[in-house]
Amino acid sequence: MTPIALERRPVGRVEDFTLDQFRIFELDGRSIGVVRTRAGFFAIKNTCPHEGAPLCRGDVRGTMLPSSPGNYRWGREGQVVRCPWHGYDFYLESGKCVYGEVRDRAIAYRIEVEQGDVFIYIKPRRS
């Protein structure tokens, strides 16, 4: 089967994105959040794989890193979104649930910045 080619779509200029604030785009019937964080640009589907919450209404944050018992190490600032409902954390880049409580991944999208323009790559849906 021939893989479906991804389409590159512009979503704005870098300066259009306030730090850690998602902007929501409706692209081919999908609600996708694009965000600029301290860790870069990310794009993720605005649906939590657990119970369908609007994931991009959640906070952008970091998470606790693996450490020995009784020690707390914070890291990955700007690489995680916390679901606005049950509080499960997902990596923005991969959509994977940080602690594995939710087996399904959130859907993350490839994103690129070129000369100040931000582009997202999605599978086109034709009506």
Partner 1 sequence: MIIDCDVHPMIRDVTDAFAYMPAKWRTHFQSQPLKISGRADDRYAHPSHPFRLDAVLPGDRTGGTDPRFVAQDLLDTHLIDIALMLPTQAAGVAGWTDDDAAAVFVSALNDHFLEHWCAVDSRYKLAITVSPHDPEAAAKEIARLAANPNVVAVQLPTLGMPLGDRHYHPIYAAAVEQGLPIAVHQTGAEACYYWTPTVAGGLPISYAERHALLTQVGEANLASLVMEGVFDRYSELKVLLVEYGFSWAAALIWRMDHEWASAKSSLPRMRRAPSEYVAEHVRLATQPIDEPDIKQDLWELMRSVAAERFVVFSSDYPHYDTDDPTRVIASLPADLKDRICYQNAFEVLPRLPVPAGT
Q: Which residues bind partner 1 (CB under 8 A)?
A: 51-54, 57-59, 82, 84-87
Rg (CA), the chain: 15
Q: Which is nearer to partner 1, 28 or 51 (CB)?
A: 51
Half-sphere CA count of 23, side-chain side, radius 13 A: 18
Q: How far is the CB of 112 from partner 1 (least distance, A)?
A: 29
Which lies closer to partner 1 via its Cβ, residue 12 or residue 54? 54
Residue 83: half-sphere exposure toward Cβ, Cα within 13 Å: 23
CB of 54 to partner 1, least distance (A): 5
Q: Which is nearer to partner 1, 9 or 82 (CB)?
A: 82
Give every CB contact of residue 17 below 8 A, 6+ residues apart in sequence: 23, 34, 35, 36, 41, 118
Contacting residues for 114 by C-beta, under 8 A, at least 6 apart? none
Residue with tokens 């994103």: 111
Smallest distance, partner 1 to C-beta of residue 22, A: 12
> Longest Cα pair distance anywhere in the chain, in angstroms?
54
Supply the minimum distance, in Å, between the C-beta of residue 58 and partner 1: 6
Q: Which is nearer to partner 1, 86 or 125 (CB)?
A: 86
